[in-house]
Amino acid sequence: MAGRRLKPPLSLSLLGLFLAILASLYLMSTATQNASHLGPLYSWLLLINSLASILLLGLVGANVYSLFNQIKKRKAGSSLTARMVILFTLLTLAPASVVFYFSMQFVQQSIDSWFDVRIDQAMEDALKLGQAALDERMRAVLNQTEEMALHLRDIPESLLSVRLEAVRDDAEDGELTIFSKQGRIIALSGGQSGSIIPDLPEISVLLQVRQGKSYVGLEPYSPDRRQIRVLVAMTGDDPLYLQALHVVPVRLTQLAETVEGAYLHYKEMTFLRRSLKFTFSLTLSLVLLLSLLAAIWAAFLSIRRIVAPVRHLAQGTRAVAAGNYEKRLRVKSRDELGFLVESFNAMTERIALARDEAHLSRQEVERQRAYLATILANLSSAVLSLDGGRRILMVNQAADAMLQIDHQTCVGLTVETLGHTYPHLIDLMERLTRRLAQETGAWQEEMPCTGPRGRQELFCRGTPLLDADGTWQGAVVVFDDVTALIQAQRDAAWGEVARRLAHEIRNPLTPIQLSAERLQYKLAKSLDAPEAEMLERATRTIVQQVEAMKSMVNAFSEYAKPSVVRQEKVDMAKLIEEVVALYPPPSGLTFTLAMTEGLPKVSGDPVKLRQVLHNLIKNAQEAMPMSPPGCIDILTTRVEDNRRHWLEIRLHDNGPGIPPEHRDRVFEPYVTTKARGTGLGLAIVKKIIEEHGGSIQVDSQADTGAGFTIRLPALPGE
Residue numbers of the site for other proteins (CB under 8 A)? 31-32, 34, 39-40, 42-44, 46-47, 127, 130-131, 134, 204, 217-220, 226, 256-257, 259-260, 263-265, 267-268, 270-272, 275-276, 278-280, 282
Q: How far is the CB of 280 from other proteins (least distance, A)?
A: 8
Least distance in angstroms from the C-beta of 102 to other proteins: 21
Per the CB < 8 A criterion, the answer to whether 53 and 289 are in contact is yes
For residue 650, give the H/E element and its range.
strand 644-653
In the sheet with 707-713, reading across from the earlier edge strand, the strands are 589-595, 630-641, 644-653, 707-713, 695-698
- Neighbouring CB atoms inside 10 A of 433's CB total 15
Chain-centre distance of CA 510, in angstroms?
96
From the number of C-beta atoms within 10 Å of its C-beta (0-12, 13-18, 19+), residue 256 rates as buried
Least gap, CB of 128 to other proteins (angstroms): 10
Cis peptide before 239 (omega within 30 of 0): no
Nearer to other proteins, 126 or 418 (CB): 126
In angstroms, the CA 303 to CA 78 distance is 11
Write the CB contacts of 601 (distance below 8 Å, at least 6 apart in sequence): 569, 570, 571, 572, 714, 715, 718
Q: Which of 496, 429, 490, 543 is nearest to 671 (CA)?
A: 490
Q: Alpha-carbon distance 650 to 695, whole Å?
A: 12
Q: Which is nearer to other proteins, 186 or 262 (CB)?
A: 262
Q: Which is nearer to other proteins, 8 or 261 (CB)?
A: 261
List b or e across 378-398, with b for residues whose CB sees 16 or more CB atoms inside 10 angstroms.
eeebbbbbbeeebbbebbbbb
- Of 26 and 65, nearer to other proteins (C-beta) is 26
Which CB sits closer to other proteins, 223 or 530?
Answer: 223
Rounded least distance, CB 142 to other proteins, Å: 16
How many other C-beta atoms can be found within 10 angstroms of the C-beta atom of residue 449?
23
Q: Which is nearer to other proteins, 290 or 617 (CB)?
A: 290
Smallest distance, other proteins to C-beta of residue 44, A = 7
Q: Kindly tell me which of 115 and 670 has the beta carbon lying closer to other proteins.
A: 115
Measured at the CA of 711, the angle between CA 708 and CA 712, to 5 degrees, comes to 140
Letter for the amino acid at 186? I
Mutual angle of helices 78-114 and 273-321, in 10-degree steps: 170
Closest distance of CB 39 from other proteins, Å: 5
Nearer to other proteins, 50 or 397 (CB): 50
CB of 306 to other proteins, least distance (A): 40
Nearer to other proteins, 47 or 639 (CB): 47
d(CA 427, CA 481): 16
**Residue 171 Cβ vs other proteins, minimum distance, rounded to whole Å:** 23
Identify the CA nearest to 201 among candidates 217, 188, 223, 213.
Answer: 217
Would you say 208 or 697 has its CB closer to other proteins? Answer: 208
The residue (of 204 and 471) whose beta carbon lies closer to other proteins is 204
**Residue 10: partners with Cβ closer than 8 Å, 6 or more residues away:** 301, 305
Q: Which is nearer to other proteins, 107 or 523 (CB)?
A: 107
Are 82 and 67 in contact by the 8 Å Cβ rule? The answer is yes
Angstrom distance (rounded) from CA 12 to CA 3: 17
Nearer to other proteins, 141 or 696 (CB): 141
Q: How far is the CB of 47 from other proteins (least distance, A)?
A: 8
Give least dist CB 290 to other proteins, A. Answer: 16
Four-point Cα dihedral 429, 433, 438, 441, nearest 10: 80
Q: How is 280-301 classified by DSSP, letter by letter?
A: HHHHHHHHHHHHHHHHHHHHHH
Run of H or E residues at 713:
strand 707-713
Strand 454-466 relative to strand 443-451, pairing? antiparallel
Nearer to other proteins, 270 or 414 (CB): 270
How many Å is the maximal CA-CA distance in the chain? Answer: 242
Residue 172: CB minimum distance to other proteins, A: 21
The distance of closest approach from Cβ of residue 113 to other proteins in the complex, given in angstroms and rounded to an integer, is: 16
CB of 81 to other proteins, least distance (A): 36
